[in-house]
Chain A
Amino acid sequence: MNGLASITLEQWDRRYEELRAAGLREPEYGGPLRRHVEDGDRRLLRLRFDPSPAALRLWNFLLTEEDRLRKARRDGKKLVGVMKDLGTTALMTHCVPELVAFYPDGAWWIPCVMEMRAGLFSIADSLGINDSFCPVRAMLGAFVTGAHFPIPDMLVCSAGATCDDFSAIAQRLEGLGHAILWWEIPHRRKPESGEGRVELPGGFVAPAEQVAVVRAELDRVREGLQSLAGSRLDDARLAAGIRKANQARGLLADLRRQAFTAARCPMPALEMLVAEMLAIHFCSDFDESLRVLSDLHEEVSARVLSGKGTLPADAVRVYWVNPVADLQVMNLLESCGGRVCGTEYLFSHALDPIPEDLGPMEALARMALADPMVGPASDRAERICRDAVGFGAEAVLVSRIPGASHCALEGEAIAEGVRRLGLPVAEIEVPSLSDACRPRLVTRLGGLIETALRRRGS
């Protein structure tokens, strides 16, 4: 028997008791998943989960971040909300022992996880940020209620060649009295002839001048963090943080390699999505995120070795583009006969190793400039196509984020690139709660799977 079925929350209740009886050891944030439903995370009732203790730890780690932040504040640490930048300023902040970083942007999943009961979109609406914006507008509501994370001591946000929606939302937030340390990132371009060129992680190149601009901007962030903490963020601390981040990225890279290339899918797409997110925010605890990833990596390695998987061996290999506002859609792909065999969740640069043979600020500047969102859509499409081929994808799914300004431009560029590879591609748009549009999502996902299966057979 090589099957390991994903389970519902109800099944997790029983599974948890069995694991406890068998001597399950958990970290202090451990416990049954059910308690999060009692705290309002009702979407968990509709999801299917991996049944391993490693997955339990992952979910518990994710869903207890607010507790950790409140404890950090009680312990005298300062909280820094790092916004829009994916993977750079969070890392810098975690290098300062007196500071804890978190992503207020993560509030974009609250409407899904709490099934709209928190009313965050209504608050954003009342502030003029309506549904023509990306669901990350929920963050605005979370700042107003203060009910989902403590109001940070400092806010840092990137501007420039980033998401237009987010910039508008963050500006509105600043208008509400939350001061923001803005840092600018230019639109990445290829160097012109005669310009100095710099290799970036991920295979991109940029003019040396752009890297210098980003480095100067990150220096301003460094000064801001030092001022808040009252201690120095020197190169030695940054270098140590980069080494630790690379450890997490290395674990994640191998986790992805194994999960995406194994003959049988060893870990469901939903848990893989949560794991990948750890690479950018560390869930407010850098060291613990490493332990969580290690556990998951160990579980996946063991399953691959024994040939165990959570899906049929012939599930269609789908490369997934963009994160989904409704987590349930990751389950949906699998119930339609697919498996995720590669992802680009808008932060592929945060999965690449940060150069350790450079000065740390230079290395961080290069990484920040490699962000797929700050370059042309064609760069992103190119990387997606390269990865899709590398992971042996049979189809590509582009998941649009409702209201997100970048999606309108990128989708077709990505789809065109994929078609040139001869792979079928479909686009879906996933709102925070997709229940009402499930039939059409099933049709698109099903159509993609059927098309890929037919190609396999022909």
Chain B
Amino acid sequence: MIVAGIDAGSRTIKIVLWDGFRGAMVGAGIADQGVEQDALAGALLDRLLGETGRARSDLGRVVATGYGRNIMSMADSTVTEITCHAVGVGHVLPGARTVIDIGGQDSKLIRLDGDGGVRDFAMNDRCAAGSGRFLEVIAARLGVELSALGALARRSERPAAISSMCVVFAETEIIGLLASRTPPADLAAGVQASMANRVVAMAGRHLDPPIVFTGGVALVPGMSDALATALGHPLQVAPDPRMTGALGAALIAAGHRDPVPARVAPASPW
């Protein structure tokens, strides 16, 4: 039986198709998020099913996660991305004790117990300065693509000190630094370090290794190095880190890991 995990995030929708009998992923894809989230997810799901020669009628349980999870009409149940990232990481990197997930809209720090279950978590979802959006804004201000920000940062000889904890004020600060001829490379490196420090500050205390980095920001070159520096500890980027939440949702759908009864996290809390 094929099951699906849908991660309806703020910037993209990710779907993983999982073959419960074979215990293997049979499809995965990403689509940009938009206004019609449910329709976009449905189209992506149909495309992935089509690519594997299947239709909706072949699909078993569907679990949705992410900020848009409660509007996914095809979902049988919903689970928070906190649990899904823990389950996803537990599958791809068993033994991990900490997950740092940085997505487009928020960042999360998830502490795991010895069995890979969530022991505790902290989130920054009130300020863009700890999210992928921060990097997007700054990359645009520096006139480079987000994907090129890491390469630019690597050329830095003296990372700039970005003191603002707010993306709006940080952008203003960068305008001032550019005006004072601070090299863009130093700004890029300074921004990555600033963001990493913000995420690490969320932990508030020691983090247990192994530490795994998930979420779209993990793909931004230089971010894992910046985080490792801020942590004072190496960390590992999860394989295909954007898909970790969707993978966790698919595994829960398949019953591989069922950390919560299905009645929890209703399709709509209202």
Q: How far is the CA of A337 from the CA of B67 in the complex (A)?
A: 18
Q: How far is the CA of A332 from the CA of B270 in the complex (A)?
A: 8
Contact B125 A450 (CB under 8 A): no
Q: How far is the CA of A412 from the CA of B67 in the complex (A)?
A: 26
Task: Judge if A323 is at the interface, Cβ distance under 8 Å.
Answer: no
Task: Give the A-binding residues of B (Cβ under 8 A).
Answer: 67-68, 70, 79-83, 106, 113, 115, 117-123, 125-126, 204, 259-261, 263-266, 269-270
Contact A442 B125 (CB under 8 A): no
Contact A426 B121 (CB under 8 A): yes
Chain B binding surface SS class: loop
Least CB distance from B108 to A in Å reads 9
Q: How far is the CA of A335 from the CA of B115 in the complex (A)?
A: 28
Contact B265 A446 (CB under 8 A): yes
Contact with B along A176-212 (1 / 0, CB 8 A): 0000000000000000000000000000000000000
Q: Which single residue of chain A is at the shortest CB-CB distance from B82? A: A447
Contact A458 B115 (CB under 8 A): yes
List, in ascending order, chain B residues with CB within 8 A of A337's CB. 263-265
List, in ascending order, chain A residues with CB within 8 A of B122's CB. 427
Would you list 9 pairs from A and B whose C-beta atoms are within 8 A, ordered by A residue?
A336-B264, A336-B265, A337-B263, A444-B123, A444-B125, A451-B82, A451-B83, A451-B121, A458-B117
Contacts A443-B67, A443-B80 hold; do A450 and B264 have CB atoms under 8 A apart?
Answer: yes
Name the one of A335, A451, A457 contacting B120, with C-beta atoms under 8 angstroms. A451
List, in ascending order, chain A residues with CB within 8 A of B269's CB. 332, 335-336, 438, 442
Least CB distance from A269 to B in Å reads 14
Task: Give the B-binding residues of A (Cβ under 8 A).
Answer: 312, 332, 335-337, 412, 419, 424-427, 429, 438-440, 442-444, 446-447, 449-451, 453-455, 457-458
Q: How far is the CA of A427 from the CA of B126 in the complex (A)?
A: 12
Least CB distance from A428 to B in Å reads 9
List, in ascending order, chain B residues with CB within 8 A of A450's CB. 79-80, 82-83, 118, 259-260, 264-265
Least CB distance from A243 to B in Å reads 44
List, in ascending order, chain A residues with CB within 8 A of B83's CB. 447, 450-451, 454
Top 10 nearest A-B pairs by Cβ distance? A447-B82, A446-B80, A337-B264, A335-B269, A454-B259, A440-B125, A450-B260, A447-B80, A451-B118, A450-B83
List, in ascending order, chain A residues with CB within 8 A of B106's CB. 440
Q: How far is the CA of A449 from the CA of B121 in the complex (A)?
A: 12
List, in ascending order, chain A residues with CB within 8 A of B125's CB. 440, 443-444
Q: Which single residue of chain B is at the shortest CB-CB distance from A427? A: B122
Contact A453 B121 (CB under 8 A): no
Q: How far is the CA of A449 from the CA of B261 in the complex (A)?
A: 11
Q: How far is the CA of A199 from the CA of B236 in the complex (A)?
A: 54
Contacts A443-B80, A458-B115 hold; do A429 and B126 have CB atoms under 8 A apart?
Answer: yes
Contact A443 B79 (CB under 8 A): no
Name the one of B82, B120, B265, B266 contacting A425, with C-beta atoms under 8 angstroms. B120
List, in ascending order, chain A residues with CB within 8 A of B123's CB. 440, 443-444, 447
Contact B264 A442 (CB under 8 A): no
Least CB distance from B256 to A in Å reads 14
Q: Which single residue of chain B is at the shortest CB-CB distance from A449? A: B264
Contact A443 B81 (CB under 8 A): yes
List, in ascending order, chain B residues with CB within 8 A of A455's CB. 117
* Interface contacts beyond A450-B82, A451-B117: sample of 15 additional A-B pairs, CB < 8 Å, sorted by A: A336-B266, A412-B204, A427-B122, A439-B67, A440-B67, A446-B264, A447-B118, A450-B79, A450-B118, A450-B264, A451-B83, A451-B121, A453-B261, A454-B118, A454-B260
